[in-house]
């Protein structure tokens, strides 16, 4: 068994992972998705623009061919002026043309040399038609064609111009390489920026951690460093919690001191009587033990209230508590008449057991010391619930109303009691942020006790 002097180890707190890594990871993933989507879209647009520009060049050449073509005396096609691009004269230059018609020999550019462009059977294009072709091994082509009927002829001539795709593909590869490098650099820069922003943004939390370390080592008792507006509410709540714990610790020390002081005198009396072997030792022990029991009961009631005060969900229905108290007191004092009125839905931020104890003391005192009539009223007063307990007894003089709340003080010693009831009511009410005061009852003429507790 562990020694009582050993420190109690705090319960383990399981980590759910790094908040910084989580934020940076989410940002990096989102940046990557956005840049990837944007890069693909931009690649598609720019590649189409480069391809369209390439096709415009083919269209220009094909239009020039059609414009310079005419029918010769032998019924074949010829150019009335040579084409300007010298690549048509260089074998395998990558730029070719061919004019075909059914029943006529193909007229090919010199650059085709011993090759020919394939013509689809029964193929006719009234407009410009462009497509890719792999008909030449090792050389992908981009072909544009159009079917034309030249003046002086009824033959449908298919004009074709082809260019190697190597130049076009090189441009697209260079574009994609540039886009990839640029977007990768942009993504890296954004991720680095997000990392710096996250580390800097979470810096106040590390400052709070350092402040807590200083508090644990005794260098400080509060978080005093200036904090951003987003972190400040948490720091304020932390400081409030520390103040609350300090108040509870101080109350515990005060209670321990009060209880020790209250028990010291009865114990001394018992020790002296036992040492002297007094004849009335038994009576002395019983009397002083009764006094000690009263003190222990009082401090236990207060300690229970202090322990339950921190529960944020504390709630008690006043009317239900009054009804329970009325039934209990009615059995003890059947001759007393107890009436109740007021807000039946009122609720207070007090534990039900503590509310029952306070109301029980007040109603029982009214029934015990009054003239037989007790009247309890419940009402709302701003953010407080006010409970008034009146009786038709002799009342209490003004000069005695403050002293009556002290422990053990009884103005009527002719009736049984401990003199702790009103002291418990005052202490427990103050623990929950309430008050209790005594006045004169205007309706019944006796004592009026006004108990105010925080409303729900």
Chain segment 210-231, per-residue pLDDT in tens = 888 888 787 777 888 888 888 8
Within-domain flag for 211: no
Within-domain flag for 445: yes
Q: Are residues 322 and 409 in the same domain?
A: yes
Cα separation values, 61 from 54, 79, 143, 419, Å: 11, 13, 12, 117
Q: Are residues 338 and 450 in the same domain?
A: yes
| Residue 3 predicted with pLDDT over 60 | no
Within-domain flag for 123: yes
| Residue 6 predicted with pLDDT over 90 | no
Query: In this predicted model, what pLDDT tens digit does every residue of 288-336 receive, in sequence order?
Result: 787 777 667 666 666 666 655 554 467 899 999 999 999 999 998 889 8
Q: Are residues 357 and 446 in the same domain?
A: yes
Cβ-defined contacts of 167-172 (< 8 Å, 24+): 167/54, 167/94, 168/50, 168/51, 168/54, 168/142, 169/140, 171/50, 171/54, 172/47, 172/50, 172/51
Is residue 360 a contact partner of residue 451, using CB atoms and an 8 Å limit? no
Is the whole model's pTM more than 0.85, yes or no? no
In the prediction, which pLDDT does 276 show? 79
Least confident of 70-79, 86-95, 275-284, 300-309: 300-309
Is residue 363 a contact partner of residue 374, using CB atoms and an 8 Å limit? yes
Select from 242, 277, 307 the last residue of a domain: 307
Q: Give the full edge-to-edge strand order of the sheet including 129-136.
A: 107-108, 95-100, 156-164, 139-149, 129-136
Cα separation values, 64 from 57, 68, 139, 360, Å: 11, 6, 25, 112
Q: What is the mean pLDDT of residues 75-87?
A: 87
| Residue 414 predicted with pLDDT over 50 | no
Interstrand relation of 337-342 and 373-381 (parallel, antiparallel or unpaired) = parallel
To the nearest 10 degrees (0 to 180), the angle between helices 203-216 and 232-275 is: 10
Query: In this predicted model, what pLDDT tens digit does every residue of 118-175 receive, in sequence order?
Result: 987 766 777 889 999 999 998 999 999 999 988 888 888 999 999 999 999 999 999 9
In the prediction, which pLDDT does 304 show? 62
Q: How many CB atoms lie within 10 A of CB 212?
A: 14
In the prediction, which pLDDT does 229 show? 83
CATH of the domain at 366: 3.30.565.10
Question: What is the phi/psi pair of residue 441, to 5°?
Answer: -75, 120
Select from 285, 307, 329 the last residue of a domain: 307
Contact partners, residue 407, CB within 8 Å, separation at least 6: 262, 295, 298, 419, 420, 423
Q: Among residues of the chain, what percentage have pLDDT more than 90?
A: 39
| Residue 411 predicted with pLDDT over 90 | no
Q: How many domains does one find in the chain?
A: 3
Q: Whole domain around residue 445: which residue ranges? A: 313-454
In the prediction, which pLDDT does 309 show? 54
Q: Are residues 344 and 255 in the same domain?
A: no
Cα separation values, 108 from 48, 82, 155, 292, 418, Å: 30, 14, 17, 125, 127
Helix-then-strand count for the chain, H and E: 8, 14
Three-class secondary structure of residue 437 per DSSP: strand
In the prediction, which pLDDT does 50 show? 95
The average confidence (pLDDT) of the chain is 84
Select from 256, 279, 307 the last residue of a domain: 307
Within-domain flag for 222: no
**Which H or E element spans position 427?**
helix 421-431
Within-domain flag for 184: no
Q: Are residues 280 and 413 in the same domain?
A: no
Q: Are residues 288 and 322 in the same domain?
A: no
């Amino acid at each position: 068994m562990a020694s009582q002097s050993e420190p109690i180890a705090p319960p383990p707190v399981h980590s759910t992972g790094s908040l910084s890594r989580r934020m940076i990871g989410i940002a990096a993933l989102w940046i990557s998705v956005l840049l990837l989507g944007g890069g693909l879209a931009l690649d598609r647009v720019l590649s189409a623009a480069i391809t369209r520009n390439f096709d415009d060049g083919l269209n220009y050449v094909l239009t020039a061919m059609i414009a310079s073509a005419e029918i010769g005396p032998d019924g074949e096609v010829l150019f009335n002026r040579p084409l300007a691009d010298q690549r048509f004269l260089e074998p395998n230059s990558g730029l070719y043309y061919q004019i075909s018609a059914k029943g006529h020999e193909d007229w090919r550019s010199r650059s085709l040399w011993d090759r020919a462009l394939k013509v689809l059977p029964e193929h006719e294009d009234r407009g410009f038609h462009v497509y890719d072709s792999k008909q030449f091994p090792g050389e992908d082509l981009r072909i544009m064609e159009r079917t034309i009927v030249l003046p002086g002829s009824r033959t449908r001539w298919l004009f074709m111009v082809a260019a190697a795709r190597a130049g076009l593909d090189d441009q697209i590869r260079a574009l994609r390489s540039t886009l990839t490098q640029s977007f990768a650099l942009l993504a890296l820069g954004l991720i680095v920026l997000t990392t710096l922003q996250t580390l800097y943004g979470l810096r106040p939390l590390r400052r709070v951690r350092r402040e807590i370390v200083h508090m644990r080592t005794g260098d400080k008792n509060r978080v005093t460093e200036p904090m951003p507006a987003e972190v400040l509410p948490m720091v304020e709540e932390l400081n409030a919690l520390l103040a609350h714990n300090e108040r509870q610790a101080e109350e515990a020390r005060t209670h321990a001191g009060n209880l020790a002081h209250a028990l010291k005198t009865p114990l001394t009396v018992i020790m002296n009587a036992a040492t002297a072997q007094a004849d009335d030792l038994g009576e002395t022990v019983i009397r002083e033990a009764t006094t000690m029991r009263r003190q222990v009961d009082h401090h236990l009631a207060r300690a229970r209230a202090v322990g339950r005060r921190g529960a944020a969900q504390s709630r008690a229905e006043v009317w239900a508590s009054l009804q329970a108290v009325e039934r209990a007191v009615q059995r003890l004092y059947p001759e007393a008449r107890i009436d109740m009125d007021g807000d039946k839905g009122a609720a207070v931020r007090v534990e039900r057991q503590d509310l029952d104890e306070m109301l029980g003391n007040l109603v029982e005192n009214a029934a015990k010391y009054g003239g037989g009539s007790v009247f309890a009223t419940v009402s709302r007063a701003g953010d407080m619930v006010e409970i008034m307990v009146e009786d038709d007894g002799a009342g209490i003089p003004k000069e005695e109303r403050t002293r009556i709340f002290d422990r053990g003080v009884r103005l009527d010693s002719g009736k049984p009691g401990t003199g702790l009831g009103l002291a418990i009511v005052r202490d427990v009410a103050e623990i929950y942020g309430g008050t209790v005061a005594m006045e004169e009852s205007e309706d019944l003429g006796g004592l009026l006790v006004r108990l105010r507790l925080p409303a729900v």
